[in-house]
A = this chain, B = another copy of it.
Amino acid sequence: MEIEIIAKAFKELGHPTRLSIFKRLVKAGEQGIAVGAVQEELKIPGSTLSHHISSLASADLIKQRREGRTLYCVVEYEKLLSVIAFLQDECCADEQ
């Protein structure tokens, strides 16, 4: 069960564009970054970007917060930390 949740997170991170977006969101920190700003920086067509963003959100890797007409994307740090924890706990056994 949990493995499916983690796999889902990996799956959504497993696309170069989405991983770039995610990385940019992490850089943005707690206050997040507007969708439009990501679009300008990474030069991604609006609809494509929107799809990728909803993919990341579907894995609970990010959330969105509206401020007027602007939607800010913010990393879900708990999720990120749980993914890291999985790799360390479940995967990095004792050896090495």
Q: Residues on A close to B: CB < 8 A?
A: 3-4, 6-16, 18-20, 22-23, 26-27, 29-30, 77, 80-81, 83-84, 87-88, 90-96
Contacts and interface: CB of A to CB of B under 8 A. Distances in A.
Oligomeric state, in number of copies? 2
B26 A93 contact: yes
A92 B84 CA distance: 10
Contact of A16 (B4, B16, B30): B4
The A interface is mostly helix, strand or loop, or mixed, namely helix
Contacts of A7: 13-16, 18-19
A13 B91 CA distance: 12
A11 B23 CA distance: 16
B14 A10 contact: yes
Given A12-B14, A84-B88, 20 more contacts: A3-B16, A3-B19, A3-B20, A4-B16, A6-B19, A7-B13, A7-B19, A10-B10, A10-B13, A10-B14, A13-B14, A23-B91, A26-B91, A26-B93, A29-B95, A80-B87, A80-B91, A83-B87, A84-B84, A84-B87
